[in-house]
Amino acid sequence: MSADPLVVFTPSGKRGHFPVGTPVLTAARQLGVDLDSVCGGRGICSKCQITPSFGEFPKHGVTAHKDALSEWNSVEQRYDDKRGLKEGRRLGCQATVQGDIVIDVPEESQVHKQVIRKAASDRIITMDPATRLYFIEVDEPDMHTPTGDLERVARALQEQWQIDNVRAALPVLSKLQPALRKGKWQITVALNKGHDDTHARILDVWPGLYEGGIYGLAIDLGSTTIAAHLCDLVTGEVKASSGLMNPQIRFGEDLMSRVSYVMMNPGGDVEMTTAVRTAINGLIETIATEAEIDPNAIFETVFVCNPVMHHLLLGIDPVELGQAPFALATSDSMSLDAREMDLHAMNDNARVYILPCIAGHVGADAAAVALSEEPGKSDDLVLIVDVGTNAEILLGDKDRVLACSSPTGPAFEGAQISSGQRAAPGAIERLEINPETKEPRFRVIGSDIWSDEDGFDNATATTGITGICGSGIIEAVAEMRMAGLLDDSGLIGSAEQTGTSRSIPEGRTHSYLIHDATADGGPLITVTQGDIRAIQLAKSALYAGARLLMDERGVDTVDRVVLAGAFGAHISSKHAMVLGMIPDAPLDKVTSAGNAAGTGARIALCNVMARATIEKTVGEITKVETAIEPKFQEHFVNANAIPHKTDPFPELAKIMTLPNVSFNTGGGDSAGGGRRRRRRG
Amino acid sequence: MSADPLVVFTPSGKRGHFPVGTPVLTAARQLGVDLDSVCGGRGICSKCQITPSFGEFPKHGVTAHKDALSEWNSVEQRYDDKRGLKEGRRLGCQATVQGDIVIDVPEESQVHKQVIRKAASDRIITMDPATRLYFIEVDEPDMHTPTGDLERVARALQEQWQIDNVRAALPVLSKLQPALRKGKWQITVALNKGHDDTHARILDVWPGLYEGGIYGLAIDLGSTTIAAHLCDLVTGEVKASSGLMNPQIRFGEDLMSRVSYVMMNPGGDVEMTTAVRTAINGLIETIATEAEIDPNAIFETVFVCNPVMHHLLLGIDPVELGQAPFALATSDSMSLDAREMDLHAMNDNARVYILPCIAGHVGADAAAVALSEEPGKSDDLVLIVDVGTNAEILLGDKDRVLACSSPTGPAFEGAQISSGQRAAPGAIERLEINPETKEPRFRVIGSDIWSDEDGFDNATATTGITGICGSGIIEAVAEMRMAGLLDDSGLIGSAEQTGTSRSIPEGRTHSYLIHDATADGGPLITVTQGDIRAIQLAKSALYAGARLLMDERGVDTVDRVVLAGAFGAHISSKHAMVLGMIPDAPLDKVTSAGNAAGTGARIALCNVMARATIEKTVGEITKVETAIEPKFQEHFVNANAIPHKTDPFPELAKIMTLPNVSFNTGGGDSAGGGRRRRRRG
What are the chain B neighbours of A141 within 8 Å (beta carbons)? 325-327, 360
Region(s) of chain A under CATH 3.30.420.480: 215-354
pLDDT at res. B408: 85
CATH number of A6-109: 3.10.20.30
pLDDT at res. A390: 80
CA distance B326 to chain A (A): 7
Fold that domain B378-409+534-597+606-655 belongs to in CATH: Nucleotidyltransferase; domain 5 (3.30.420)
The answer to whether the beta carbons of residues B515 and B507 sit under 8 Å apart is no
Number of other residues whose CB lies within 10 A of the CB of residue A29? 16
Q: Do B327 and A198 touch (CB under 8 A)?
A: no
Q: What tens digit of pLDDT does each residue of B575-628 get?
A: 999 999 999 999 999 998 888 999 999 999 999 999 999 999 999 999 998 877
Q: In angstroms, rounded to a whole number, what is the distance separating the alpha carbons of residues A392 and A373?
A: 13
What are the chain A neighbours of B168 within 8 Å (beta carbons)? 330
Burial of B458 (0-12, 13-18, 19+ CB in 10 A): exposed
Cα torsion B448, B451, B452, B454: sign: positive
Closest chain B residue to the Cα of A315, Cα to Cα: B174
Question: What ranges in A206-267 are assigned the alpha helix state H?
Answer: 255-264
Q: Do B316 and A173 touch (CB under 8 A)?
A: yes
Rounded to the nearest 10°, the torsion over CA A503, A508, A509, A511 is: -50
Region(s) of chain A under CATH 3.10.20.880: 114-207
Number of other residues whose CB lies within 10 A of the CB of residue A206? 18
- Cross-sheet strand order for the sheet of A401-406: A590-594, A560-564, A382-386, A391-396, A401-406, A622-623
Q: What tens digit of pLDDT does each residue of B534-552 get?
A: 999 999 999 999 999 999 9
What are the chain B neighbours of A168 within 8 Å (beta carbons)? 330
CA distance A148 to chain B (A): 4
Q: Which of A149, A168, A341 sits opposite B328 (nearest CB)?
A: A149
Q: In angstroms, rounded to a whole number, what is the distance separating the alpha carbons of residues B148 and A360?
A: 8
Q: In angstroms, rounded to a whole number, what is the distance separating the alpha carbons of residues B575 and B482?
A: 9
Q: What tens digit of pLDDT does each residue of A581-618 get?
A: 999 999 999 998 888 999 999 999 999 999 999 999 99
Query: Can the peptide bond before residue B630 be classed as cis, meaning omega within 30 degrees of 0?
Result: no
Q: Which of A141, A173, A360 sits opposite B325 (nearest CB)?
A: A141
Q: Do B360 and A143 touch (CB under 8 A)?
A: yes
DSSP letter (8 states) at residue A141:
P
Q: In angstroms, rounded to a whole number, what is the distance separating the alpha carbons of residues B82 and B72?
A: 15
Q: Which of A198, A314, A325 sits opposite B142 (nearest CB)?
A: A325
Closest chain B residue to the Cα of A145, Cα to Cα: B623
Region(s) of chain B under CATH 3.30.420.480: 217-354
CA distance A583 to chain B (A): 25
Which H or E run contains B256? helix B255-264
Look at residue A669 and tell me whether its pLDDT is greater than 80.
no
pLDDT at res. A121: 42
Query: Is A370-410+534-655 a CATH 2.60.40 domain?
Result: no
The answer to whether the beta carbons of residues A169 and A179 sit under 8 Å apart is no
Which H or E run contains A102? strand A101-104
What are the chain A neighbours of B166 within 8 Å (beta carbons)? none
Closest chain B residue to the Cα of A320, Cα to Cα: B177
The angle at the Cα of B555, spanning B549 to B561, to the nearest 5 degrees, equals 65
Region(s) of chain B under CATH 3.10.20.30: 6-109
pTM for this prediction: 0.83
CA distance A177 to chain B (A): 6
Among A343, A342, A314, smallest CA distance to A329 is for: A314
The answer to whether the beta carbons of residues A469 and A445 sit under 8 Å apart is yes
Fold that domain A215-354 belongs to in CATH: Nucleotidyltransferase; domain 5 (3.30.420)
Note the residue count of chain A: 681
The answer to whether the beta carbons of residues A326 and A336 sit under 8 Å apart is no
Q: What tens digit of pLDDT does each residue of A120-163 get?
A: 344 688 999 999 999 999 999 998 888 999 999 999 999 999 99
Closest chain A residue to the Cα of B151, Cα to Cα: A330
Q: In angstroms, rounded to a whole number, what is the distance separating the alpha carbons of residues B335 and B351?
A: 7
Closest chain B residue to the Cα of A273, Cα to Cα: B174
Which H or E run contains B601? helix B596-606
For domain B217-354, give its CATH number from 3.40.640.10, 1.10.30.50, 3.30.420.480, 3.90.950.20.
3.30.420.480
What are the chain A neighbours of B325 within 8 Å (beta carbons)? 140-143, 146
The angle at the Cα of A313, spanning A307 to A315, to the nearest 5 degrees, equals 105
Which H or E run contains B443? strand B440-444
Q: What tens digit of pLDDT does each residue of B626-661 get?
A: 877 889 999 999 999 999 999 999 999 999 999 999
Number of other residues whose CB lies within 10 A of the CB of residue A676? 7
Q: Which residue type occupies A267?
A: G
Q: Which of B148, B329, B336 sits opposite A329 (nearest CB)?
A: B148
| A-B Cβ pairs (cutoff 8 Å, strict) | 143
Q: What tens digit of pLDDT does each residue of A238-297 get?
A: 999 988 888 888 887 778 888 988 988 888 999 999 999 999 999 999 999 999 999 999
- Cross-sheet strand order for the sheet of A467-468: A440-444, A427-433, A467-468
Residues 6+ apart with CB under 8 A from A618: A356, A357, A358, A367, A370
Q: Do A146 and B328 touch (CB under 8 A)?
A: yes
Closest chain A residue to the Cα of B181, Cα to Cα: A320
pLDDT at res. B87: 87
ipTM above 0.95, yes or no: no
Q: Do B328 and A173 touch (CB under 8 A)?
A: no
The answer to whether the beta carbons of residues B334 and B361 sit under 8 Å apart is no
Q: Do A151 and B326 touch (CB under 8 A)?
A: no
Q: In angstroms, rounded to a whole number, what is the distance separating the alpha carbons of residues A449 and A447?
A: 6
CA distance B524 to chain A (A): 46
Residues 6+ apart with CB under 8 A from A630: none
pLDDT at res. B679: 37
A contact set with B (CB within 8 A): 140-151, 168, 170-171, 173-174, 176-178, 198, 314-317, 320, 324-332, 336, 340-341, 357-360, 623, 625, 628
Q: Which of A148, A317, A330 sits opposite B330 (nearest CB)?
A: A148
CA distance B209 to chain A (A): 21
Q: What tens digit of pLDDT does each residue of B508-530 get?
A: 999 999 999 888 788 899 999 99
Q: Do A170 and B144 touch (CB under 8 A)?
A: no
The answer to whether the beta carbons of residues B389 and B224 sit under 8 Å apart is yes
Look at residue B57 and tell me whether its pLDDT is greater than 60.
yes
Q: What average pLDDT does chain A have? A: 90
Terminus-to-terminus CA distance in chain A, angstroms?
82
Number of other residues whose CB lies within 10 A of the CB of residue B339? 19
What are the chain B neighbours of A336 within 8 Å (beta carbons)? 170
Helix axes A170-182, A149-161, angle to 10 degrees: 80
CATH number of A114-207: 3.10.20.880
Question: Quick one: average pLDDT of B222-241?
Answer: 91
Q: Do A329 and B359 touch (CB under 8 A)?
A: no
Q: Which residues pair with B200 in a beta bridge?
A: B166
Residues 6+ apart with CB under 8 A from B574: B478, B587, B655
Ramachandran bin of B253, using left for φ above 0, alpha for ψ from -120 to 50, beta for the remaining angles? alpha
CA distance A585 to chain B (A): 29
